Structure 1
């Protein structure tokens, strides 16, 4: 695939002379672009099957150099791939650059790719303001479509907020449970230490009495004679 892509690129850069040659050159360039795109699609699928999806974007950009030049089909596959492996942030800047390009805005696939970018990149990443700006600034969608997309964004924002609140509540409960366990352990430790210190005077008193007894017995001759 790599060798064929290089040959395709060289052929597309070849110069043609004359009217017929110019027409043939245009057809050849178009055909070369289609072949190049098809080979990239096959390459993306092969890398994904080999679990080398991390290399896909850099591999594709070796042949198209900048995100704006990616064919719609290649961009679509990249968005879907990185969304499936839960790494949509990889396509955040790439998709944004492609959608801002004026040439790409005239393509028939622009609307579907914008929708794909919204649903699989911006919304999963919580980029709600950017999504709203993109929809409002898009001339491809009519007012009804814009309202529908804005409604989807609003719903996704609400779900995101609910998940954040649930996550925060779960963390607070976990922290409270941890504090309770630590408090119980501290209380048990304090009780154990308190009982230990309470026993110390009693032990000292017994020891002092025993020592006193030994001194009296050993120093008093009358007591010794009794024995």
Structure 2
């Protein structure tokens, strides 16, 4: 007697296209050139070629096209920073996206952090302001983080108190912050103004003029966060079965970890804001860029 259960194998997902495979291989090559060979110029050139190939071979409407473009830009930004060509980062990113308001939130966050790190926050003032005022960006998942970074790393350090207040109280602040966050942001602006007024009066920095700073997390806290990320990667291995997890994803994740913990000193107080924000970027990029392909591969096994 026939049975409804024929033992037929489950439907397999379609294989990755040759274009997707090519893009993944180019990302692997760029990561290897940066991490292993320390050839930052070659890594940047590979990213540049990858972006050109992407334009020719994939439709802009394809969500994978945007994911690959963001991945190449992330590695390219790091390569330019390593080459001490950070001043050309924003113009290079604009070549890929044409308009400031079209830059993805995670790329805008990296640019703000980079120019803040090198002491040139003014170079991001216009670009970040235009991006935040674009109505289509207000619903982006990273909108609030861009607003926060623009406030803390651009407007406040430059002493633009009025513009900072307008951002907090205006449409951008309402979309980006809760009521408590807006009040905290206003307190930060006022504290910065108070420091600016008192600095000329006490150039020697007497004990009476010390301002209580927020405690800086120790390096152990940062290492704990790194351990959490490594545990996350380990769980991915366990879920995927023996050897099926795509190694290129681990390698790219290692590149990002390398950027965070090898190229920066996490013990420096000035570096912690960078590290905490880039840790958030790492988690977001893993979810946005790698999870879809991981699911395709695991379903096809």
TM over 0.5: yes
CA apart distance, 1:132: 0.6
CA apart distance, 1:10: 3.2
2:160 alignment partner, one of 101, 123, 127: 127
Output the aligned Cα RMSD.
Answer: 1.5
Match of 2:98 in 1: 65
- Within a 5 Å distance, the mapping from 1:160-199 to structure 2 comes to 160-166=196-202
Match of 1:103 in 2: 136
- Residue 164 and residue 110 in structure 1: after superposition, are their counterparts in 2 closer, same or farther (change >3 A)? farther
CA distance in 2 between partners of 1:53 and 1:142 (Å): 34
Match of 2:192 in 1: 156
2:65 is equivalent to residue 37 of structure 1: no
CA distance in 1 between partners of 2:141 and 2:97 (Å): 20
CA distance in 2 between partners of 1:109 and 1:30 (Å): 17
Match of 1:6 in 2: 52
- Per-residue displacement from partner, 1:71-109 (whole Å, max 9, x unpaired)? 111111111111111000000000100000001111121
CA apart distance, 1:13: 3.7
Corresponding residue SS for 1:54: helix
Runs of 4+ more than 4 Å apart: 164-167
Segments of structure 2 that go 5 or more residues without pairing to the other structure are 1-46, 204-301
Q: Is the 8 A contact 2:51 2:69 kept in 1?
A: yes
Corresponding residue SS for 1:139: helix
Would you tell me which structure has more helix in proportion to its own residues? 1
1:142 alignment partner, one of 178, 203, 215: 178
- Residue 165 and residue 10 in structure 1: after superposition, are their counterparts in 2 closer, same or farther (change >3 A)? farther
- Per-residue displacement from partner, 1:55-81 (whole Å, max 9, x unpaired)? 111111111111101111111111111
- Residue 38 and residue 96 in structure 1: after superposition, are their counterparts in 2 closer, same or farther (change >3 A)? same
CA distance in 2 between partners of 1:31 and 1:164 (Å): 53
Aligned length: 154
Q: Is the 8 A contact 2:101 2:130 kept in 1?
A: yes
TM-score (norm 2): 0.49
CA apart distance, 1:161: 1.9
- Per-residue displacement from partner, 1:101-133 (whole Å, max 9, x unpaired)? 001111121111101110100001001100111
CA distance in 2 between partners of 1:164 and 1:120 (Å): 22
- Residue 10 and residue 164 in structure 1: after superposition, are their counterparts in 2 closer, same or farther (change >3 A)? farther
Corresponding residue SS for 2:52: helix
Q: Is the 8 A contact 1:11 1:32 kept in 2?
A: no
Segments of structure 1 that go 5 or more residues without pairing to the other structure are 15-25, 168-227
